[in-house]
Structure 1
């Protein structure tokens, strides 16, 4: 038997014509697919009535905007055999990106692009905020957006939860009696009851992360109080173009390396400084790999990026890797860091300040990385001493500590060297006045 085009929960969402509509759906349940279908049908309805309409899709990044356009809008229009023209134009949000647009025969247009406060302010249109809980500066986007849709336009907001520190949380949990929002909430269990072919037990066992399962599949709001890096800070520094080695610009680079040999991850994190921002350029992870493999990967990264500093976790088994790296790359640019409570506090403070100041950029939508960063918690021991711990993620926040070590490496001022030539003292060779010969007065200790 063929699968239905839409499941009942998607049909309920599609049939709701409320002007303001917010949906909280579990991961991979087709929320973007259903909403882009609504947008396509709305545009066709306007043209059938002799008019036209305008929709703007604001996504987390260029890749997500492209997915909404290619696997949503264009897919639906093609399935309905509707002619359209597709365009791409340059768009700048700190880095060059693309705005994608579809134009229908009657003049209706649908645009998809990465979200920021400026793009939210730049259109008068119906708006779809895709994965809104993950947008950087979600509150500023919201402030810029509402005047845009004030002239009777529709607003669609969908996402999975992402902590409590964002505007999406407020939209879903607002219990005021005059709230104009129509809300749809569909966790993985309801989606499966409605026919979605998923095995919840298998998914949960494969994920092996209770926090991620609770938030992204069962739609529970995680407590952000003890998280060292709340999701809002993580959202604000994610970027489509971070984490791509092909975009290396030959800038100053720094490597942080968290050491592990058995159950935890071995992680090497490369930061590249562009202007005053550190961009994650490459993140390499190994599990249960040999020390020879560790050395080979680190050699490859050092040869490729020629880092100014390499900071390595020297705790326990890290003693020998630090010694070996110092011999291979030079002790002047390799530093071992013992993970004492005081040192971990210093590393974590430097990193948090960088996240708060938005002077770092990390890969967009890397769920394992996000879980690692968010899993780090600062606790207080019975003696009143601070201690960092982690829960969730697929290691002990190994990616986070590698990132922090790299940020620490970049925090040291770069030594600048200048060369000032000294005018030599000469005497003229009496036999050949065209030759200048250094004076014997400059000869000391066996060299000039």
Structure 2
């Protein structure tokens, strides 16, 4: 007997063979939920082609990149495995709120599969079977669901998959609904996936992730308590954008820099926000650990050279005293030191949260370390009743978060006009050329700018 064209693990077979009208999959990360669901989509189109009928599917993903991945790494791969001929098309789909990039394949006898970013506009724009991919991470999930359900109520099927993303979204409501409702629910944590054939080293993954909150949510499918989190996962994901975090996207607008000082155990983080209209875009994030003060200052000087920095706020607490003094000597009043006292942290955290709630920030999409860092910050009351912020079970004490909040604080303060002309990085004298160890550290730091350690 020949091997199947598309081999599946046990839990994937169960999901694939379940043809319930309302089907929900709560899957651990990287267990093949998108791959298996797009296989079902292709299979229904193959069955329709055999019967000389038409099938219609729409895939709604969290962003354009994810929609493209579902189409290129799922639908097209499966269609080729089925030997299904298809025509490709990419176009701007026009809706009530604007145009959205759409990818589409047309199959024999007129079946079509369209993939595009999810929003209330695209959700109401098609009469078709629907696959909501990573639904817990969709912006405005409640509004998307309200727009979508009247469409599928006409008899279409719906597939909803995701890992958890806190409790403040529609996916949580669907996944935790009563057992006797119409939904067929599949729950696959990392332990079940490995037991049924997925080749993963669980202990290696857990050790490498080094974050118990992220492990509990992403791999054990735990619904983390959002009550004490300063920034909920839903709030964080609502401000993610695939265009953020890319230095090449810099448009030349004034920038605001936050710099959180850390050396031995904590990260040294430099966060660059670019002001575009009334929105702050994460343009670059530099992370260093166990760097020398010179290496930290060189990274800061590089940022001040390449961007139009209107104001920079630096953590002045402890070892930051000299860092701030030196930076003010080089850049004057554009640099402000901030002592991390209780009242100052409350002010910065409040400004930061307001920006997230108003959706006037854009941060890197899909950066798991950043998401965990932003979520770990919690507000608690001290014995005297005064509020304070803590970040538990971590090695870096939410350094990325405080760098972001420092940059937001810089954007809220006074700005200064100054002459600006990009210049090359400061050259060292010949006798001060970096050692091999210094050069290796510099290259590691550069690689970390767009993803972190």
Aligned position for 1:157: 160
Rate the CA distance shift 1:3–1:313 in 2: closer, same or farther, 3 A: farther
Aligned position for 1:145: 148
Determine whether 1:280 maps to 2:282.
yes
Alignment of 1:222-241 (within 5 A): 222-241=224-243
- Distance in 1 (CA, whole Å) between partners of 2:239 and 2:135 is 15
- Distance in 2 (CA, whole Å) between partners of 1:121 and 1:251 is 36
Mapped contact 2:260–2:315 kept (Cα < 8 A):
yes
Aligned position for 1:339: 340
Q: Structure 1 residue 81: deviation in Å?
A: 2.2
**Alignment match of 2:307 (pick from 296, 305, 308):** 305
- Report SS of the residue matched to 1:346: helix
- Distance in 2 (CA, whole Å) between partners of 1:238 and 1:13 is 29
Q: Structure 1 residue 284: deviation in Å?
A: 1.1
Q: Structure 1 residue 280: deviation in Å?
A: 0.7
**Alignment match of 1:38 (pick from 34, 37, 40):** 40
Mapped contact 1:68–1:112 kept (Cα < 8 A):
yes
Q: Structure 1 residue 340: deviation in Å?
A: 0.3
- Report SS of the residue matched to 2:230: coil
- Distance in 1 (CA, whole Å) between partners of 2:90 and 2:414 is 42
Aligned position for 1:70: 72
Mapped contact 1:227–1:374 kept (Cα < 8 A):
yes
Q: Structure 1 residue 414: deviation in Å?
A: 3.7
Mapped contact 1:129–1:156 kept (Cα < 8 A):
yes
Determine whether 1:268 maps to 2:267.
no
- Distance in 2 (CA, whole Å) between partners of 1:96 and 1:348 is 35
- Distance in 1 (CA, whole Å) between partners of 2:17 and 2:378 is 43
Farther off after superposition, 181-190 or 142-151: 142-151
Rate the CA distance shift 1:92–1:326 in 2: closer, same or farther, 3 A: farther
Mapped contact 1:372–1:394 kept (Cα < 8 A):
no
Determine whether 1:180 maps to 2:147.
no
Mapped contact 1:252–1:272 kept (Cα < 8 A):
yes
Farther off after superposition, 112-121 or 356-365: 112-121
Deviations 1:290-318 (A, max 9, x none): 11111111111111112100111111111
Larger Rg over CA atoms: 1
- Distance in 2 (CA, whole Å) between partners of 1:148 and 1:393 is 45
Q: Structure 1 residue 98: deviation in Å?
A: 2.8
- Distance in 1 (CA, whole Å) between partners of 2:169 and 2:42 is 29
Mapped contact 1:276–1:359 kept (Cα < 8 A):
yes
- Distance in 2 (CA, whole Å) between partners of 1:221 and 1:311 is 35
Determine whether 1:61 maps to 2:63.
yes
- Distance in 1 (CA, whole Å) between partners of 2:295 and 2:140 is 40
Alignment of 1:431-446 (within 5 A): none
- Distance in 2 (CA, whole Å) between partners of 1:92 and 1:414 is 40
Rate the CA distance shift 1:371–1:394 in 2: closer, same or farther, 3 A: farther
Aligned position for 2:438: none
Deviations 1:241-289 (A, max 9, x none): 1111111111121111111011111111111111111111111111111
Determine whether 1:258 maps to 2:249.
no
Mapped contact 2:104–2:112 kept (Cα < 8 A):
yes
- Distance in 2 (CA, whole Å) between partners of 1:3 and 1:123 is 31
- Distance in 2 (CA, whole Å) between partners of 1:315 and 1:2 is 62
Mapped contact 2:374–2:400 kept (Cα < 8 A):
yes
Mapped contact 2:258–2:408 kept (Cα < 8 A):
yes
**Alignment match of 1:25 (pick from 17, 20, 27):** 27
Q: CA RMSD in A?
A: 2.0
Q: Structure 1 residue 95: deviation in Å?
A: 10
Aligned position for 1:109: 112
- Distance in 2 (CA, whole Å) between partners of 1:91 and 1:371 is 34
Mapped contact 1:61–1:364 kept (Cα < 8 A):
no
Q: Structure 1 residue 105: deviation in Å?
A: 2.7
Rate the CA distance shift 1:4–1:47 in 2: closer, same or farther, 3 A: closer
- Report SS of the residue matched to 2:152: coil
Farther off after superposition, 92-101 or 286-295: 92-101
Aligned position for 2:319: 317
Mapped contact 2:311–2:415 kept (Cα < 8 A):
no
- Distance in 2 (CA, whole Å) between partners of 1:115 and 1:325 is 44
Q: Structure 1 residue 4: deviation in Å?
A: 7.7
Mind listing any 5+ residue stretches in structure 2 that lack a counterpart?
419-453
